[in-house]
Structure 1
Amino acid sequence: MRRSADVDALQHVLCAALRSRAPVCSMARLGHSVGIRLDRGDGAGPVRGAEAWEALEPAALERPTLIGGGAPYAPTSPAPSPDAVDELVRRAEALDVPQILVPRVRRSDDTGALRAAGFVSVAAGSECVVRLPGEVDDVLRNRVGAGQLRDLRRRHRAVSRDLTWERIPLGELAGKAWARDAFVKLHQSHVERQGGSHSPYNAEALDALAHSVPGRRTEMFVRRRENTVVQAGLLTTSHNGRGIYHLTQATDHNDPAARRNLHLASLYQLYLHARRSGLEWVHLGSGDAPRARRLGADLFVPLDHWLRAPGLAHPAEEGDEERELSPFAAPSVATVPIPGPARFRHRPRFDLVDLSGNTNPFLAPESHYPELDTAELARTCLATLSALPGHDGLDALSPDHLLFTSGAVDGVMLLLAALASPGERVCVTPPTFELYAHFARVLRLPVVEVPLRGDDLNELDAERILAADARVTVLCDPNNPVGTRLDPERVRDLVARSSGLVVIDEAYVEFSEKPSYAPLVARHDNLIVLRTLSKAWGLAGARCGIALADPGLIDALRRVQVPFGFTNASQHAVRDRLTNTRRPLASIRLIRAERDRMAAALAAHPAVERVFPSDANFLLVRLREHQRVVERLRGAGILVADTGHLVPATCRISIGNRRANAALLEALSAAS
């Protein structure tokens, strides 16, 4: 519906709807069908250009306006080219029409020609798409949760007992006058219920659509009880054959089925139809993003109306300039762009015929590259983490503060490559995760060690770290391999006073009852917090790490990151786990309880000299006969991490299930 041929055809449909030779009407008349409103309640965050509406005199809504694009049936209007904008302006002058409106243009489109011609943007909500990479119930479960899925299925079953579901190609409407008449009547009633008087979905428009290019791909769907039509709408298959646009629907609100939320039930039916037809997505149109999320939408493309009106000045808009890269970016990184396809990750491709990737079209869908726009998954991730204890204030972060990586380890490599140049120092605090220093040396970065102090190896020597004047300081908290937490006051002081970057690896923080440092990212542009879904969330196989940092730092990391590293399968697994949190959160509580039980059992064991306190899902244990005990455990088929080279005479024991832990204690007794 974004091809020029489709847009031209839809211009004729609009003329038919208006009973006019030209697509000219007032914005008040067209208002609801293209989402024009004066409020700021689209739920998609701050409204860009809202002051443009406020600057309009009331008469502007009634003033004759030339409508560009394909309203009201088109999901969006492609941003017109410079020649097309010039033609719009000339046509408006020839028609003596003072205003021009190009409705619902994707913010990711090139809108330079519109700006140059004096058009002003006004936020129009978001284009909402439900992608269907698997069976409908599986997809919805990991989007909206098991409870919402049960509710959708219940409504669908109740409605399906009473109403039929029929699809009629528009080319066959001539022989089904009842469907045509019911569609028009229901849409007229809908407009009147909204306070309007003229429905753009009238008989003339429907006939024009049936004889248009997109009309060949369009069907009417009808739900009826015996001979009474209760609901009618339009569906159009995309020109690339991969999805369905849900163009419009209207319902008889006096029917009992409407009280069971017929709209939701019909959308669920539509998802089933799309999946059974081998389609990959359903386009819900533009509107309220939070509501669409509850319906399973996972792709949201911000839209703007573009208006050219007398006396309307172009306001200064946030986001017009490219975001400034962090000053912590290495000079070599600051001079290069984000590589290849990742640069255009916010430009949707779902409704294009994509011939740019050189993949095998006969082995789809596996041949498609992974989705690069993970903003919605980032929003889900932040919402889930914000609800955890110790994460107050995390809701101040946006998806621009988050980057998914191939495990937290990949995040370490990325940040060292993007933010430090050869010769600049990296500070680590042994005993700690060994790959920090390993990656630094691979990248020719000198490593400065400032050991942790104290009996529990959890005292940070902040003054020595600051004196090292490192480009990057990496802290592991909870510590691996020790399991202890650092003093939060010293950590905050270090972040505030450091002239370099401070990286805090929180791979095990979900097992701790002490707060996360992630909310501090909103206040410190030199702080990076790393998280992983491999540990507490049980997704080691999905390889998903998370870097939280100032957006300028995230942009620097993107310039180093290899595109397409976060596979679709991993994205689906992550969304499922972060949406349905009951099991993982329950398992974290079980691990904490089992950790405490095992700590007591090991502390009382004759083979053990000391058990270090732990805020992780493992225990660091000092053994009386370290080497002999580790070898005996290995001989008994039990593998623990030998950490004697980091902390003398120790091993690190992961907390397993009851059977595994019992086997360890039995083998340890045999070895003593």
Structure 2
Amino acid sequence: MRRSADIDALGDVLSAALGFRVPVCSIAELGQSAEAFAALPRPALARPTLVGGGAPYSPTSPAPTAQALDALVRRAKERDVPQILVPNVRRSDDTSALREAGFHPMAVGSECVVRLPGEVDETLRTRVGAGRLGELRRRHHTVARELSWERVRLSELGDSPWARDAFAALHRRQVERQGGRHNPYNAEALHALAGSALADRTELLIRRRPDNSVVQAGLLTNSHNGRGLYHLAQAVDHEDPVARRGLNEASLYALYLDARRSGLEWVHLGRGDADHTRRLGADLFVPLDHWLRGPDLPPPGGDEEDGAEPALSAFAAPGVSTVPVPGPARFRHRPRFDLLDLSSNTNPFLGAESTYPELDTAELARIYLATISKLPGHAGAGGLSADHLLFTSGAVDGVMLLLAALASPGQRVCVTPPTFELYAHFARVQGLSVVEVPLKGDDLSGLDVDRILAADPRVTMLCDPNNPVGTRLDPAQVNALVAGGRGLVVIDEAYVEFSEHPSYAELVDRHENLIVLRTLSKAWGLAGARCGIALAHPGLIDALRRVQVPFGFTNWAQRTVRDRLTNAEEALASVQRIRAERDRMAAALAEHPAVDRVFPSETNFLLARLHKHERVMDQLRGAGILVADTGHLVPATCRISIGTRRANTILLEELSAAL
């Protein structure tokens, strides 16, 4: 929770549960986060501890101010309590006051949030896949036939004493089952919560059988900004058969439906295992720390630095090294879902589209890397992290960003014609000198490594697989260029999914001078989403982020990309269809009397040299067929995209008509 008044109210609830006027207990008695406290000496687990927050009720606590910490320290001294715990603080908060006051951080996992931007089933399909969605729906319908769905407001709990008693009884049995000594969700705690300022925003979620036996009892609180719901606690009757048939998952799915019908935009699941909650639809994961102050504590570890920006690469242009990441993007890891946002000057009366896109794309980056790591030749990509990846507005935008961020006017950019023409175009626009070192060999797949190194360019742009030729470069030559040059090597892999040879993605963590560009416009069929990807050393990604315009990656595009990656089967099957049709067309064109040569291709297009280039191009234009005229790059050639079988057959017929 983000409002201090709410946390204070939950602190009073904890006091009521403990039976004291102030929330003092041992860490062991609190029964939370055993793994976070594993390194503590035994006395620290047993000594009295003042809990500065609403644990275990609050999902998160805002980092206390210096004044709040002073008051907390005074309170502990007045009661002769030697130890203070501030639980569940987001690592993205400003925790400098905690550190300066002598508190030590201990990593405790992440809070998990399910954001609901639209219809629940469609949202979950993009997150967990169609198969998993079907499983959740089946469990929901099965449980709904046996159990009711009731929400009892705490301010009206006096009219439903059975709900209060069932909640306390189920949680008492759960604590006993887990071997605990203290039940923080007892009747006294519930009474205190019902009398607090949170009562009108808090409800019991009850699921019971027709005979009125309660099988599940949970605690829900609406956020103070009115946009979401905190799922604070739940307990189930494990002896009831329905509890063993996916009751928790079924109830969460029903909760999403209920929240969305109420116009809410998110459901907070609290702390949990990220892999498990991903399967429940969670898409936002915020690292948390407990902060502890007391005698005999071990020195703090390095976890608290995880949110720090990576060191800027030495390849950054001088002007870039003097400026920070633009304001909104600099705070991309600070979640805003549960804030009352009055900072953006947007129209609050026109719905979700009036808000700016999400800037924290770390989870989407993880999904992309996990998805491509399963492709042939991409196994090493799974070892990269979100810090190695930047989403751009198409791969072409990535070219613009890297030239602006990493090269200065007058420096040289090397291109290897025939190649994608916009490399040289954007270099010249930005005042860079362009050096051309043509590809060699009959298939135009050889690099003149010695000549490129002799030119000593700031940036070398490689297109692999090549556009417009379709061939792959010699990997030994590419590796020699990366290892032997002083400048940056950029490999544009826009068509690599159609290739049978490996990607260079896994090498970016080993070579600070290597950038790999990818796109979802080609094999993934998302040209309209304008999603490119730059993979590079984190210090290079930081340099690119400093020149990138914030909010270019829309929420619609993010959801579309997530859906395609999560439900990848159709896209991957289409790649195989394109490969098969490419091979069929290559054979047909090679035998066609209008074609002199078909170049080898590991893309979704073919480069063909024509006998009567101008005549064939005129014939195709007259027939309403568009192919790329590449005669200015490779004499007498055109580049033919692989279309449907019907479209390809029509092309072959029109080629015959040109003879």
- The TM-score by the shorter chain falls in which range? over 0.9
Aligned residue among 105, 115, 124 for 2:89: 105
Per the alignment, residue 270 of structure 2 pairs with: 285
SS at match of 1:531: strand
Per the alignment, residue 30 of structure 2 pairs with: 30
Is the counterpart of residue 514 in structure 1 residue 501 in structure 2? Answer: yes
C-alpha distance in structure 1 between counterparts of 2:61 and 2:635, whole Å: 67
Is the counterpart of residue 459 in structure 1 residue 446 in structure 2? Answer: yes
Per the alignment, residue 244 of structure 1 pairs with: 229
Aligned residue among 134, 139, 142 for 1:155: 139
- Large movers: runs of 4+ above 4 Å: none
Q: Cα deviations across residues 241-275 of structure 1 (Å, max 9, x unaligned)?
A: 11111011100000010110100000000010011
Per the alignment, residue 9 of structure 2 pairs with: 9
Per the alignment, residue 104 of structure 2 pairs with: 120
Structure 2 contact 172–183 (Cα < 8 Å) conserved:
yes
Per the alignment, residue 69 of structure 2 pairs with: 85
Aligned residue among 383, 399, 413 for 1:426: 413
C-alpha distance in structure 1 between counterparts of 2:614 and 2:141, whole Å: 64
Specify the code of the residue in structure 2 equivalent to 1:121: P
Unaligned runs of 5+ in 2: none
C-alpha distance in structure 1 between counterparts of 2:274 and 2:489, whole Å: 35
SS at match of 2:282: coil
Q: Summarize the alignment of residues 79-478 of structure 1 with structure 2, pairs less than 5 Å apart.
A: 79-226=63-210, 227-317=212-302, 320=305, 322-478=309-465
Specify the code of the residue in structure 2 equivalent to 1:70: G
Structure 1 contact 65–99 (Cα < 8 Å) conserved:
yes
Per the alignment, residue 555 of structure 1 pairs with: 542
C-alpha distance in structure 2 between counterparts of 1:232 and 1:630, whole Å: 72
1:517 Cα shift?
A: 0.4
SS at match of 2:360: coil
User: What TM-score comes out, normalization by structure 1 length?
Assistant: 0.97
Specify the code of the residue in structure 2 equivalent to 1:169: R
C-alpha distance in structure 1 between counterparts of 2:441 and 2:245, whole Å: 64
1:313 Cα shift?
A: 4.2
Specify the code of the residue in structure 1 equivalent to 2:142: A
SS at match of 2:620: helix
C-alpha distance in structure 2 between counterparts of 1:116 and 1:132, whole Å: 38
Is the counterpart of residue 497 in structure 1 residue 491 in structure 2? Answer: no
C-alpha distance in structure 2 between counterparts of 1:297 and 1:618, whole Å: 39
Shift of the 297–261 alpha-carbon distance from structure 1 to 2, 3 Å rule, reads same
Per the alignment, residue 47 of structure 1 pairs with: none
C-alpha distance in structure 2 between counterparts of 1:319 and 1:610, whole Å: 60
Structure 1 contact 69–78 (Cα < 8 Å) conserved:
no
Specify the code of the residue in structure 1 equivalent to 2:381: L
Q: Cα deviations across residues 102-153 of structure 1 (Å, max 9, x unaligned)?
A: 1110000011111111111111110100011111111111101111111111
Moved more, 612-621 or 83-92: 83-92
Count of residue pairs the alignment pairs up = 656
C-alpha distance in structure 1 between counterparts of 2:310 and 2:579, whole Å: 42
C-alpha distance in structure 2 between counterparts of 1:663 and 1:244, whole Å: 57
1:393 Cα shift?
A: 1.4
C-alpha distance in structure 2 between counterparts of 1:319 and 1:248, whole Å: 27
SS at match of 1:297: coil
1:204 Cα shift?
A: 0.9
C-alpha distance in structure 2 between counterparts of 1:6 and 1:314, whole Å: 32
User: What TM-score comes out, normalization by structure 2 length?
Assistant: 0.98
Per the alignment, residue 21 of structure 1 pairs with: 21
Structure 2 contact 31–180 (Cα < 8 Å) conserved:
no
C-alpha distance in structure 2 between counterparts of 1:540 and 1:643, whole Å: 22
C-alpha distance in structure 2 between counterparts of 1:323 and 1:88, whole Å: 34
C-alpha distance in structure 2 between counterparts of 1:222 and 1:313, whole Å: 43
Q: Percent same amino acid among aligned pairs? A: 74
Shift of the 81–417 alpha-carbon distance from structure 1 to 2, 3 Å rule, reads same
C-alpha distance in structure 1 between counterparts of 2:534 and 2:401, whole Å: 10
Specify the code of the residue in structure 2 equivalent to 1:259: R
Aligned residue among 536, 541, 545 for 2:528: 541
Per the alignment, residue 647 of structure 2 pairs with: 660
C-alpha distance in structure 2 between counterparts of 1:576 and 1:80, whole Å: 39
C-alpha distance in structure 2 between counterparts of 1:567 and 1:8, whole Å: 37
SS at match of 2:125: helix
1:316 Cα shift?
A: 4.6
